[in-house]
Structure 1
Amino acid sequence: MKRTEALAGLSREHHGALVMAQRIAAGALSPADLGRRFDRELNPHFLAEERFLLPFLERAGAAALAERTRHEHDEMRRLAAAVEEGDADALASFGIALREHVRFEERELFVAVEALLKPESLRELGQCLTASS
């Protein structure tokens, strides 16, 4: 699906997250690799969404979607920490959570952002996201 320019960068990052989730499911991503990639790729993505995207969404009246997103981010942070602490089962759980979270964002969250935000708000959001990267 073609995304508005404001969300295009985040959407492209979702592709990498889905590849990561597939590698976890295939047993091709080690706990150490997850830790590095989480810190370098996923957590900065989560932080950008939390700092910029979710406040726009809340102001547009979709606080429940924003809260769900934060909750899922926190759960993946918890799972990543459990992996780092040696919990072998947490890696598979993380991969499943990541896959489902990306699907949620692409199918529900981003659709709501594009429907609820006015063009000027989408432009402002895009500028904030670009400036933060």
Structure 2
Amino acid sequence: MKRHPALLELSREHHQALKMARQARLAAASGEPERQASLAAELRVWSADALERHFAEEESTLFPRLARTEHAALAARALDEHRRLRALIAELATPDATTLARFAELMEAHVRFEERELFECLQSDLAAAQPASG
């Protein structure tokens, strides 16, 4: 299904998040502390800028809309995952393979969840809210 215009940019940003998760997974598996520290620093910069903007957009516009529907549990899950991702990124101030791997696993699962479940519910809600053209 084609994405609703309100979700297009967020979906594009999810692609970048999956790339960052993959890089974190590879760095964690490398066994190279320098590579892990470098990637952790990159993740922290990316998080402070792009990821926080992405989270703020979802948390201020999409999740409240979803919370008013029968799918409120999806919004609650997404908020919890945002909280957990923020905590993992904060832990990366002292980078280690385990934290990078946990970040990679949660970020990938979170993006898949949002794309496959949360955005699908929002897509229907957004489409229904649009006035019929004619």
Shared fold by TM > 0.5?
Answer: yes
Range into which the TM-score falls when normalised by the shorter chain:
0.7 to 0.9
- What is the aligned residue count? 120
Q: C-alpha displacement at 1:120, in angstroms?
A: 2.8
Aligned to 1:100: 109
Question: Which one of the candidate residues 79, 96, 106 is aligned to 1:70?
Answer: 79
TM-score by length of 2: 0.83
Which aligned pairs between 1:117-132 and structure 2 lie closer than 5 A? 117=126, 118-120=128-130
- Structure 1 stretches of 4+ moved >4 Å: none
Q: C-alpha displacement at 1:60, in angstroms?
A: 2.6
Aligned to 1:126: none
Identity of aligned residues (%): 42
TM-score by length of 1: 0.83
Q: C-alpha displacement at 1:90, in angstroms?
A: 1.1
Residues 40 and 95, structure 2, Cα contact 8 Å, conserved in 1: no
Aligned to 1:17: 17
SS at match of 1:3: coil
Residues 23 and 39, structure 2, Cα contact 8 Å, conserved in 1: no
Q: Per-residue displacement from partner, 1:22-80 (whole Å, max 9, x unpaired)?
A: 11111166111111011111111111100110111112332101100000000000100
Task: Work out which of the two has the higher radius of gyration on C-alpha atoms and give 1 or 2.
Answer: 2
Q: C-alpha displacement at 1:114, in angstroms?
A: 1.2
Listed as ranges, the gaps of 5+ residues in structure 2 are 28-34
Q: How large is the Cα RMSD of the aligned pairs?
A: 1.7
- Mapped partners of 1:106, 1:52: distance in 2: 16
